[in-house]
Structure 1
């Protein structure tokens, strides 16, 4: 798996605990080794995980090794980015995007900065 630095990897087994058990919104990247755009997204996710650490948890899941979770959320394209709150998906985006655009798209699901 193309691992983004500072981003935890979840599996079919750990998904519910890591994503559902988080007090923060969780950005999940559904990724795969063969996915070119996923490689482009890795540094973007690393930066967002670092910069938004107090407001957002960022994790990755490899769809080839964890088919149950991918099929549960009907993920067909890589990368798919989903935001979960309280274990429920609240936003879904498909495809790589630059950091600024991704942050804009996440604005409505992130808690306000105090």
Structure 2
């Protein structure tokens, strides 16, 4: 299996559908807040995609472009990008700032799923 096949595109969401895909979801939602202009964000995207692929059906993964959806960035009082926020059972369970490894994200996701 090639590297590309182990990935899946993150679903892009904005203000209009954010609550439906995160707070109202039956499974945990991992949301990557970032911007295409951000080099570190672009490095984080494939890592999140790989984790989403490995945990498909158990978590949902989304992308929020903070340049287009600044209100969401401020709503959750985020400081800097990239920033990953994990939602479960209608609440925020984890905020993670900066570039994160696949192994680190898997450890966090496993902790939430158990």
TM-score range, shorter chain: 0.7 to 0.9
Q: Where in structure 1 are there 5+ consecutive unaligned residues? A: none
Match of 1:84 in 2: 87
Give the alignment partner of residue 42 of structure 2, picking from 24, 39, 43: 39
Q: Confirm or deny: 8 A CA contact 1:38 1:78 kept in the other structure.
A: yes
Q: Where in structure 2 are there 5+ consecutive unaligned residues? A: 1-6
**Aligned pair count?**
108
Q: Confirm or deny: 8 A CA contact 1:25 1:56 kept in the other structure.
A: yes
TM-score relative to the length of structure 2: 0.87
1:58 counterpart = 2:55: no
Task: Give structure 1 regions of 4+ aligned residues with deviation exceeding 2 angstroms.
Answer: none
Match of 1:100 in 2: 103
State the secondary structure of the residue aligned to 2:9: coil
In the TM superposition, what is the alpha-carbon distance from 1:86 to its structure 2 partner? 2.8
Q: CA RMSD in A?
A: 1.4
